[in-house]
Homo-oligomer: A and B are copies of this chain.
Amino acid sequence: MNIEDDLMFPEMEKSKLSKRKEKIFEIIFEADTFYGKLFDVVLLILILLSVALVMLESVASINAQYHQVLIIFEWIITVFFTIEYMLRIYCVRKPLGYIFSFYGIVDLLSIVPTFLGIIYPATKYLSSIRILRLLRIFRIFRLTKFMRSGNLILIALRRSRSEIVVFLSFVTLIVVVIGSLIYVIEGGHPESPMKSIPTSIYWAVVTVTTVGFGDITPVTGMGRFLASILMLIGYGVILVPTIIATETLRGTRLREPGKNTQVCRHCYDDNHMDGSLFCKSCGYSLHREGDTSGDMTQK
């Protein structure tokens, strides 16, 4: 988004590019003019249509019957997307900036699979990655409210990057250690599906995330005991907010009846910690004038 803004504004200000380039830019990148809006709506429909086509093509019974039609439509849309991608490169001021931006990469990945599909048929289904192009519609239709929500989530995630790294490290360690342990316990058992450590680790991921497919399950008593511990860890981690919420509730309860509605009589600062004897802002005693409940400084 930022990239596109960077590309857009200098263009309008300096306007050194040919009129045609500018016009194409307005239609393809912006949505202020009638043709710009029309283009975006057509694009939106084509994206949805092409993803639907790819899905239908993957269903054997449908593909058997409508193979020709699906292939033709897919190629029409892919050609359209290819032209659009080239026009985007052509009309922006800094083509490389666009090409290596998030949307530039998504736009490229939306057309490559179909062409690759000529050589490796399976890869063409990857073109349903086109659905990521829909992210643009948030910007196109000025859905700022949703973007703000999205941005807030991104901000929250970015601010807690280190928590996420710690969490992933923790899960990785747990999963490798318990996956190995269960392999040692279960591996020898003839009925056990834990045929190798990678399989056991996959099972441990399935278990600790509480997904629990059940295609691989422990069969021995010891294995089930270890599995129970792993499940409780996975379940317990989900409960951390519960625990903190309870802690907070306790904080609220214990504070309520007690003391910490202290207000400094000198500077009116009313935000003190429990057990504070002096105002943290002006150094004035918090226990003057006949306070009976917590007075330890006066005689």
Residues in B whose Cβ lies below 8 Å from that of A59: 195-198
Given contacts A198-B55, A277-B281, contact A163 B209 (CB under 8 A): no
A76 within 8 A of B: no
Residues in B whose Cβ lies below 8 Å from that of A283: 277-279, 283-285
Per a CB cutoff under 8 Å, which of B159, B197, B276, B281 touches A128? B197
Separation in Å of the A84 CB from the closest CB of chain B?
Answer: 20
Contact B132 A173 (CB under 8 A): yes
For residue A270, which residue of chain B has the nearest CB? B270
A190 within 8 A of B: no
Interface residues of A, count at CB 8 A: 109
Separation in Å of the A247 CB from the closest CB of chain B?
Answer: 5
For A163, A197, A239, A281, the residue with the greatest tally of chain B CB atoms inside 10 Å of its CB is: A163
New A-B pairs, 19, CB < 8 Å, besides A212-B212, A213-B217 = A55-B196, A58-B197, A59-B196, A128-B179, A131-B173, A134-B173, A146-B169, A148-B254, A152-B246, A155-B253, A160-B244, A160-B247, A202-B225, A206-B227, A214-B214, A268-B270, A272-B280, A276-B281, A283-B283
Separation in Å of the A49 CB from the closest CB of chain B?
Answer: 14
Given contacts A128-B176, A152-B249, contact A210 B235 (CB under 8 A): yes
A228 within 8 A of B: yes
For A132, A177, A209, A278, the residue with the greatest tally of chain B CB atoms inside 10 Å of its CB is: A209
For A155, A171, A227, A228, the residue with the greatest tally of chain B CB atoms inside 10 Å of its CB is: A228
Please list 10 pairs of residues, one from A and one from B, whose beta carbons are closer than 8 Å in the complex, sorted by A's number. A58-B196, A58-B198, A126-B181, A152-B253, A163-B247, A168-B232, A206-B228, A210-B211, A240-B242, A268-B270
A282 within 8 A of B: yes
Instruction: State which residues 47-92 of A face B: CB under 8 Å.
Output: 51, 54-55, 58-60
Interface flags for A174-199 (1: CB within 8 Å of B; 0: not) read 00110111011001100000011110
A293 within 8 A of B: no
Interface flags for A205-237 (1: CB within 8 Å of B; 0: not) read 111111111110100010011011001101111
Number of copies: 4
A156 within 8 A of B: yes
Separation in Å of the A207 CB from the closest CB of chain B?
Answer: 6
Given contacts A239-B238, A249-B244, A272-B280, contact A197 B156 (CB under 8 A): no
Given contacts A58-B197, A128-B180, A180-B125, contact A245 B234 (CB under 8 A): no
Residues in B whose Cβ lies below 8 Å from that of A54: 180, 197
Per a CB cutoff under 8 Å, which of B125, B221, B245 touches A187? B125
A167 within 8 A of B: yes
